[in-house]
Amino acid sequence: MKKSEIIIFSLFLSLNIYAQNITNTLGASGMFSIKDGTTEYLSLSQSTGFLSLNRSLVLPNTTSSGLGVIYKGTERFLYNYGSGNTFLGLNSGNFTMTGFNNTTVGIATLQSNTSGSSNSAFGFYALLTNSTGSDNSAFGTYALRGNSTGSDNSAFGTNALFTNSTGQANSAFGNAALIFNSTGANNSAFGSWALFYNSTGTSNSAFGSNALRNNSTGYNNSAFGNYALNSNGTGTRNTSVGYKSLYSNTSGFQNTAVGDSALYKNTGNYNTALGYNAGSNVTTGANLTLIGIDANPSTPTAIDQITLGNQFVQSLRCNVQTITSLSDVRDKKNITDLTLGLEFITKLKPRQFNWDKRDWYEGGISDGSKVQETPTAGFIAQEFDEIQKSENAEWLNLVLKDNPDKWEATYGNLLPVMVKAIQELKTEKDVEIAKLVEENKQLRSEVENMKLIKEQLTEILGLKEELIQQITLLKSKDGDEKVKYSSAGNQKEE
């Protein structure tokens, strides 16, 4: 330093010791600096007002509010109180906590922390009320704001896990994801508003905007796709994959929907739908299996049905030709011989026809313009129904009338009746064959008798021929004697 600068600096120090107020005035464009012969360590520019520090600023470890703290105004701004803690943000952290390895960036982050450790908070009011919760990560304004004792939570996004207090092991990624969760645990929400209203529900997984948005206490649900399981509140163990799949489900449980809008209106239970729009008309139906695009049951409230494909399906293909079903005698009671058989079958009316489905037309009214050219064979449901009623056999269930506007036929239920009819035909045939066999025996016996008679006749004819020859010979030798004898005889008679 120059001698004049040393004098001024000494004067500055002396004034600092004995005076309470010190004012140093810089002239226009003046510069205050501290340096050695070649290096400037600190400078203050009058023209810009900037204070430049050209070396490191060393702060002691913070042990109280009065040591090692950088303030902004009257509010703490940066310090490292405790073991492994770093606090950056107005009034973030505190000077009483015992927790360690916490890192915060943002206003009031981890402000209430006591013994919570290994937490990371980045964003305005992130983890604001956390006290003993540990291993939480909050990134975003108000992320995990209300958490107190919950641990192992991860919140990424504005308001993510906002209300969580004691919930454990939740993951929220997206604006307002799991915002109202309080005690629910093991939930995963990825997407804006995902699991938005969840409060105590556990083990839910939501991937997509508004997925499981209204879930409150439902648990073990999985939703993948925007608005998947959107309305679910208390429903449990549902799986939804696809845009708006299971959208309207509220309390239905154990449903599985895969495909855009699959089971869209569903509120029932135990339903499975696979394919675009599959099961989209189901409401309170239960135990339905619907496979294929637009595959739907007979009615929205149907139960215990399987539907393969939509109205355009022309064939069902499989490597085997039959379906195996339960038929164990231990599961059956009141077993008797079937009385329906040949007489019932003969009353059926096999038909040839051309399909002209109402579903193919706008408004569901056929005008005949879309009738199929190739005919097919089958039965008419209404005619089936008439025969069932007339024979007191509606228990055969040959006709499904769940939907009064579209009757369906169950051809397979005719198989036992057809078998019975074949058995009856066989019985009649067996009787006829036995009769024919008996008649054949009689005929053979008569034929044998006729052969014997023929042989006897042949023998008699032979004897007759021989006798005639002998008589002829005798006539030729003794003709005259016979004449004489004859005349003598006549004379004697006379």
Check residue 481 and give its pLDDT.
Answer: 58
What is the model's pLDDT at position 445?
85
Alpha-carbon Rg for the chain in angstroms:
53
Report whether pLDDT(490) > 60: no
Give the 3-state secondary structure of residue 298. coil
Locate 241 and state its tokens.
């994959």
* More confident of the two residues 20 and 452: 452
Report residue 431 as tokens: 């009787």
161-194 pLDDT, tens per residue? Answer: 999 999 999 999 999 999 999 999 999 999 999 9
Task: Give the DSSP H/E element, type plus range, for residue 77.
Answer: strand 75-79
The answer to whether the beta carbons of residues 374 and 355 sit under 8 Å apart is no
pLDDT tens sequence across 45-85: 999 999 999 989 898 999 999 999 999 999 999 999 999 99
Tokens of 487: 């005349």
Per-residue confidence (pLDDT) for residue 486, from 0 to 100 = 54
Give the alpha-carbon dihedral of 117, 122, 124, 127, to 10 degrees. -20
Q: How many helices, marked H, and strands, marked E, lie in the chain?
A: 5, 23
Q: Identify the CA nearest to 266 among candidates 254, 277, 250.
A: 250
Per domain, the residue ranges of the chain are 3-53, 348-415, 435-493
Q: Which amino acid is it at 79?
A: Y
Q: What's the whole-number average pLDDT of the chain?
A: 91
Please check the confidence at residue 367 and state whether its pLDDT lies above 90: yes
CB-based contacts of 33: which residues, under 8 Å, 6+ apart?
Answer: 40, 42, 43, 44
**What is the CA angle 12-15-17, rounded to 5?**
115
Q: What one-character-per-residue DSSP string does 16-35 give?
A: HHH-S-------TT-EEEEE
Q: Is the pLDDT of residue 494 over 50?
A: no
**Tens digit of pLDDT for each residue in 215-240?**
999 999 999 999 999 999 999 999 99
Show contacts of 264-267: CB within 8 Å, 24+ apart: 265/300
Q: Are residues 72 and 54 in contact, defined by beta-carbon separation less than 8 angstroms?
A: no
C-alpha to C-alpha distance for 323 and 462, rounded to whole angstroms: 76
Please state, in angstroms and rounded to a whole number, the distance separating the CA atoms of residues 48 and 277: 68
Q: Nearest-CA neighbor of 34 among 16, 9, 56, 4?
A: 9
Reduced to 3 states, what is the DSSP secondary structure of residue 307? strand
pLDDT for 155 equals 98
Judge contact between 163 and 148, C-beta under 8 A.
no
pLDDT of residue 321: 86
Amino acid at 33: S
The reported pTM is: 0.77
Contact between 245 and 264 (Cβ < 8 Å):
yes
Residues 475, 481: Cα–Cα separation, whole Å: 10
Contact yes or no for 316/300 (Cβ under 8 A): no
Sign of the CA dihedral running 292, 293, 295, 296:
positive
Cα(first)–Cα(last) distance of the chain, in Å?
212
Please state at what angle helix 479-493 crosses helix 415-477, rounded to 10 degrees: 80
- What are residue 207's DSSP bridge partners? 190, 224
Cα–Cα dist 453/16, whole Å? 166
Q: Which residues pair with 189 in a beta bridge?
A: 172, 206
Tens of pLDDT, residue by residue over 370-426, are: 999 999 999 999 999 999 999 999 999 999 999 999 999 999 999 999 999 999 988
Does 287 score more than 50 pLDDT?
yes
Mark 180-217 as b/e (b = at least 16 C-beta within 10 Å): bbbebbbbbbbbbbbbbbbbebbbbbbbbbbbbbbbbe
**Backbone dihedral region for residue 428 (phi beyond 0: left; psi -120 to 50: alpha; all else: beta):** alpha
Distance CA 140, CA 152 (A): 17
CA distance readout (Å), 183 to 33, 180, 202:
58, 10, 9
Calpha distance 465→62 (Å, rounded): 157
pLDDT digits (tens, 9 = 90+) for 132-169: 999 999 999 999 999 999 999 999 999 999 999 999 99
Confidence grade of residue 479 (pLDDT, cut at 50, 70, 90):
low
pLDDT of 487 reads 53
